[in-house]
Amino acid sequence: MSFIIVFMWSFVLWLVLTAGTKGMLWSAEELAAGVVFSLIVGYATRDIIGEKAGRFLNPARWVGFIVYSIGPLFWGMVKANFDVAYRVITGKIKPGIVKVPVDLENDAQYTILSNSITLTPGTLTIDACPDEKALYVHWIYVTDEHPESSEPISGSFEKWARRLGK
Amino acid sequence: MSEDMGLIVKTMARATIPLIGIFGAYVISHGHLTPGGGFQGGATIAGAGVLFLIAFGLSEAKKRYDHHVYSALESLGGLVFLGAAMLGLSVAFFYNTLWRKGIAFAGEPGTLLSAGYLPIMNLAVGLKVFAGLVSAMMAIAVYRRWKE
């Protein structure tokens, strides 16, 4: 099962890399070479990708990822960049490391939320501790030293991460 | 002290190691068409091995690394290169008989199956560089005299 996932994952990248070999599409020999190399890569890395990665083959989840990345994530990055520009100009900073309790279950959810938090400037995930169900986040302007949820730091990202990585 | 990285690095490594592998294969197999080639692509794929070692730790990497397999792969790469070079030995060493006689890899220049023995040699060099670099990296990683 995980062999098929890696195969498709690498074959999609191959298609992206070799697009345009026959008009805008792919020539037959490129497709054949892609299948061969994807088989090799898939066989070599089949037990690295993780057993439950098959849930990311669901097209509804791809739509979710696209909506998330051009909607909430992009908007959050724009807002946060202007906020950091303001802090650079005025020098009003109050940095600190806070422990943020999160309600997530698996690795993918932790990764999505941590990367989203790191991508929005002003906050930087230092460590993810699934045992404590918490993230440690370095914050440029600490308004709440002991937050009850991830709401003040990341807005709606936790809800999205829970849905996308489920 | 745990020797592997945290959860985020490991999860990202799970997703990116296949991508690095297929990108390296792309660089190797298009060595006669685009910048790159055997050494560059082989070093790229070896980078996936380095990422695995750093993200998952030495004990995990040791489980999946077989010295004999990598040694054999490296030798195989060198032998295939030499074999491709000797194909046209009736005329000269490194004579590109596949291309001149139109036997194989003799398509129109610019397509994947062209340039005679060059794709074969690129694949051989890529395999050799990948196996050699991963072996060297593992040999350095297990050399830990300062611990005892």
**pLDDT (0 to 100) of residue B47:** 92
* Residue of A3, A35, A45, A105 to mutate for B, most B C-beta atoms under 10 A: A45
Global pTM value: 0.83
Residue with tokens 């690498």: A10
Name the residue type at position A53.
Answer: A
A14 touches chain B (CB under 8 A): yes
Place of tokens 């440690």: A136
Short-list A164, A91, A101, CA closest to A132: A101
CA distance A122 to A81: 8
A114 and chain B: CB distance < 8 Å anywhere? yes
Residue B128 has a pLDDT of 92
- A45 part of contact set with chain B, CB < 8 Å: yes
Our CA-based measurement puts residue A71 at a distance from the nearest CA of chain B, in whole angstroms, of 22
With CB atoms and an 8 Å threshold, state whether B26 touches A110: no
Question: Do the chains contact at A110 and B11, CB–CB below 8 Å?
Answer: yes
Q: What ipTM did this prediction achieve?
A: 0.82
Name the average pLDDT for chain B: 85
**Measuring CA to CA, which residue among A103, A81, A97 is closest to residue A150?**
A103
CA B114 – CA B106 distance, rounded (Å): 5
Residue B86 pLDDT > 80: yes
- Residue B6 and residue B141: Cα distance in Å, rounded? 19
Burial B58-89 (b: 16+ CB within 10 A, else e): bebbeeebeeeebeebbeebeebbeebbebbe
Q: What is the pLDDT of residues A87-144, one digit of tens each?
A: 889 888 888 888 888 888 888 888 888 888 888 878 888 888 888 888 888 888 878 7
CA distances B125 to A45, A165, B110, Å, are 21, 40, 21
- ∠A74-A160-A55 over CA atoms, to 5°? 115
Q: Are A146 and A132 in contact (CB under 8 A)?
A: no
